[in-house]
Structure 1
């Protein structure tokens, strides 16, 4: 039986048992009047006190009985059901736990929840916007993939992010802290080619859920607790690390006329430690004490690190995806270079923390913009527009671990040790 993970409260339910919401449409087959909106206390309590009273009035939620009143989709989940009160047909499925509405085709495919974490000024919203643009363009072409926004809210935010960054050359605003209200996730449908010898080629569809935690919510273990359900349900985590938050990097960079350095916030090793503690508390740790959830640690703003890199560093160019498969040799080369850099920054404190806490770990370096914002307009993108470097690498690695993308070269699937004593591996599976 197909199970569905709610992208809002992260409750897991069998698809066939999800309730429906009446759309209050005057099309009932029984000649009854459409249902009236009623107070949905479950959804209102979940959303919190900031929801206006009028929005708490919603279509009635009902459970469709098995039989003729529910028309089954080919996958076995209910695609439409008739409201028992008014007879109106509805395709809207809702979460059993929080009563949030699901996009129309969300329940018809596998779900991959990708947790995106990073401190203030690490550029999470910018990263997501650029990543999606690359998946729809350069990277999508190489893998034969397509990415579409699911649901009206994601479509609206997706459009606004793209217009701000690519049309107006404005950087996205900061993520709203959880204390000020609930942050809706971004939902996307990823379609990839499915090669089948006997039944012919087809498509494989996966729902990608990106949930962006505000930097303010990563300042302590108590604040991060707001995201525990999200973190525990994640299939993979992308942890963004701003190198300009590390004193060793700031001290080594040459002084120039670029934008001012960001204010130093919570140390990245503390964020990593709190993340691991939350995951262990929710059963994601192994008998050896390391977290089993795959973690892609991405050092951002690598364009600013150019003075510290060799001229032929792989961090200064994009990966070659022309073969339509992940190049493990390239990934391991990047991992080892990032590991050497982290080992030399702040006495290797972050690297040691990561290798002690996470069993499936890979290090990446990326730049969402390709160059720094203008010094006189730090809220703007570079005048040339985004010219990203390796923004897709962390997500592609996580998808490859799930078997959604082919992998070639190097130690594909076997991993490589990241240290002589830790036992941590990169890209390996089940090695805890």
Structure 2
């Protein structure tokens, strides 16, 4: 029995029970007129639109007919008889991408303080998954639904062609941030490789919270449903917001971001929210896997020891995640944090999370121009290890092969 999680309100439901939305086709099949739009109060309440306004007028919703064959994908409108493929979440009434209900879904929560580069990170990560990383793992990434197609196309065009950095994520108080939904196709391995096309398809949902919403636990409560539904969380840590790092970068004075919520406080608030949604184990630690990624590693070269894996791309072969490399990155990143904050963040993570790993990456490869901080580097993005956190989370879920190394030092 296939269950899906709505990528907008994160309500869980059986795929077979999802509602349909009439297409309001001009020609009815039963001699009737085309259906007229109706006020969708559930959708209006979710989006904050006036329920009586013209924007809330949408095609009528109806329950799936009894006896409808599972997986058929279309159902006739009971009023006009025209078949529609549009599935609708029964809770928030958002339309779902046409093939979203046909595969497993994995929601990846992305959080971090303001100016940590969340929007830039997602733009570069998706580009790498579609290109370099896709080649390494024989995988493909495709946008699902018109909204994601248009939004990602604009993001990619701005960053890679116009060399413009994305604007800040809108706070939830201003609008609800739409997710980016992709279909990730990876090769099947082992007995399951006998599948009809040799591929496994998974819906990946990326949703990022604005930095302003992480100022305290009360503000972060807006995202509890999203966080509770996540299969994994990526927490971005901006080292340029740490005082010890800032003091040793005098050449960047005037170009450093404002200091926002401390990463250990964000981690503690995140754990509190997840425990409140029953995502904790007996010892009180949260069971949701957490990838903690120190960003802007291009600015950290003075701290990196000679030969550190943080300064070079991951070496992969055979389409598998290298666990020994992951552990080496984890240990070197932990050493950096120990130097910067005396291990405060790491101790907080150990207390609150049953499974976490540290990463260090750069989405751009070099800082923005000093005279144009809103622009990407003139050479364009040249990311380093931007994919590592997601690959670890996908490996934990069995979506990618993981090459174990018994001689490697253990990470979390």
Same fold flag (TM > 0.5) = yes
Structure 2 spans left out of the alignment, 5+ residues: none
Cα deviation code 1:102-150 (max 9, x no counterpart):
0110000000000000111100000000001110111100111110111
Please give the residue correspondences for 1:346-385 in structure 2 after superposition, counting only pairs within 5 Å: 346-385=341-380
Match of 1:269 in 2: 264
Runs of 4+ aligned residues of structure 1 deviating over 3 Å after TM superposition are 49-52, 195-201
Q: Give aligned pairs, total.
A: 410
Q: 1:258 to 1:169 in 2, by over 3 A?
A: farther
2:336 match: 341
2:327 matched to which residue of 1? 332
8 A Cα contact 1:177 1:216, kept in partner: yes
> What corresponds to 1:57 in structure 2?
57
1:301 and 2:313 are equivalent in the alignment: no
**Which has the higher mean CA deviation after the structures are superposed, 379-388 or 21-30?**
21-30
Give the conservation status (yes or no) of the 8 Å contact 2:5–2:13: yes
Q: How does 1:27-426 map to 2 (within 5 A)?
A: 27-49=27-49, 53-67=53-67, 70=68, 72=69, 76-195=70-189, 196=192, 198=194, 202-253=198-249, 255-256=250-251, 260-411=255-406, 416=410, 426=412
1:28 to partner: Cα distance: 3.3
Contact 2:163 2:376 in 1 (8 A): yes
CA contact (8 A) 1:150 1:189 kept: yes
Deviation readout 1:238-270 (Å, 9 max, x if unpaired): 0000011111111233x2268611111111111
Normalised TM-score (structure 1):
0.92
Cα offset, 1:37, TM superposition: 0.1
What is the TM-score with the length of structure 2 in the denominator?
0.96
C-alpha distance in 2 between matches for 1:216 and 1:343: 27
Q: Relative to 1, partners in 2 of residues 1:177 and 1:250: Cα closer, same or farther, differing over 3 Å? A: same
Q: Which residues of structure 1 form unaligned runs of 5+?
A: 418-425, 427-432
How far did 1:66 drift? 2.0
Cα distance change on mapping 1:291 and 1:42 into 2, 3 Å: same
Q: What's the offset of the Cα at 1:321?
A: 2.4
CA contact (8 A) 2:139 2:186 kept: yes
Q: Provide the C-alpha distance between the structure 2 equivalents of 1:411 and 1:280, rounded to a whole number of angstroms.
A: 33
CA distance, structure 1, for counterparts of residue 14 and residue 59 of structure 2: 22
Report deviation, 1:83: 0.3
Matching residue of 1:421: none
Q: 1:11 to 1:325 in 2, by over 3 A?
A: same
